[in-house]
Structure 1
Amino acid sequence: MQDRTKEGLWAWRQPENHNHMIALQERAGDASPHHNHVELGYFGGSAFRITAPSGLTLLIDPWRNPPWGKLNWYLYDFPHISVDVALSTHAHFDHDGVHQVSAHTILDRLIGSYTFADVRVTGIADKHVSDSTHNAYDWAEMTRRLTAVKTTPPDNWRSFDNCLLIIQVAGLRILHWGDNRPDPPDHIWKQLGAIDVLLLPVDGSQHVLSYAQADAVAAKLNARIIVPHHYGIWDVTTIGSTLLPPDEWVNGRAGSIWTESGSFRLDPTFVKQQQNRVVCFGGHVAFDKAGIQNK
């Protein structure tokens, strides 16, 4: 039997250090940078890097392949990158690969608040989707039948919890939905408040949310910008993931923007002028896919 006391993070192997965070500490209270835009980078799956005006970087939901070694979802390992803060919304393999990146601070399933430099992160505890009857494979029902995992709240296992993450930066409130259920109770909606940028799971297989559920969440939050994630990319995700591109849903919403790269600048002035405008990365990611595949 595997000795779990010997498992752990791999930070002791990382050659990077805290120097960038120390510099940000020293600049606390200094004048703001020359710009106030936020850079949003997409890494496939549900993984986003947010770069604040101060230069602080946050990576949410880095992915990995299933630990049981069968039916891989990704064609290769998550790219080796360094960030200041790594975060995860919930304990599923396609969201919890925080050990694979070099990060000064790890906020795994944050509940409560974290503040540093010009960023404040708030984690709100709720529940993962447990009804997938809208998906062709009904993976939640298969999980219940084939494993001991309890998926239905309130007595679900931890992997069917989810933490909604709100990132406040440059006057914007960015919400990463993770794989949250579409119908949280009223007190959760009140805690979420006004959202400027909504990172919402939408894919052609309707794996997490159905199209109707995604529309309902978008309408309820009335976000200015909506960014799909958790979808299939032909040269990042495998067929075995069952995920499909989000094109049908994206193209069905008026004025949708398809980015030209894996990075998109969120200018607060532009964002505040939008209303339920979709920005989609499509197959673009913020790393060199060919470079990883050739390693």
Structure 2
Amino acid sequence: MDINKVLYISQEITPYLPSTPMSEISQKLPQGIQERGSEVRTFMPKYGCIKERRNQLHEVIRLSGMNIIIDDSDHPLIIKVATLQPARMQVYFIDNEDYFLRGQSSKDLEIRLTPEDNDERIMFYVRGVVETVKKLRWDPTLVHASGWVSALAPIYLKRVYSDDPSFRNSKVVYSVFDDKFDGTLDPRMVEKLKMEGFTDEDLKSISSAPVDYVALNKLAIDYSDGVIQASPEIDSEILSYIKESGKPFLPYPGETEYIDKYAEFYNSL
């Protein structure tokens, strides 16, 4: 395949979290693309339920230590890494005690216990990934973001980091799953994003009301180069929005033999 460096910004990956359709594909897809000759980097949040000793995570000191400012507050960025066997694929974890709580029993519990933090949590996660990739001096040809926790990646890459040498030529793909969250994100989310450097024009699609699941996904689609339906059924309003956008679109490719279909879609961009 022609895509030689692929960055995966994932919401969840098995075996670090329990097996779900999302966590399974987020493990198998990067491995499959790596086996087809691409260089791969994979990221996920370090949720509090992930056991470091059991999963052999260790901190990458040379990448940690940066502070990310969100809403005028400093938040230390901690990078941890583990190796998925037998593929020997490294998985990087974005960690911070303010956003990823300790001792939670599940990723979902963590997100639902403190939903008021979810806007900042996803801002921190995406920025943490991007800043880490820059430190690695690794320039991805394609960035694939999966799930709503990664939904701000397209707008960050196409606006805030559009002139950065690491991402200037990257294509961005977003996968939509059927992983809805209830309610809305913090009403101040747009205000916080403007502090990141986004303009009124950048954020016009989410400026009139608090951001819910549909609005967040539409924002991701707006700034992506291609969109994938990663679940058999997704929200009908989002599906219509994808089709009306005219963006390159891969409908649900099935549960088996999907890796070649993803690779073909990447190359088509």
Per the normalisation by structure 2, the TM-score is 0.36
**Structure with the greater alpha carbon radius of gyration:** 1
Between Structure 1 and Structure 2, which shows a larger proportion of helix residues? 2
Between Structure 1 and Structure 2, which shows a larger proportion of strand residues? 1
Per the normalisation by structure 1, the TM-score is 0.33
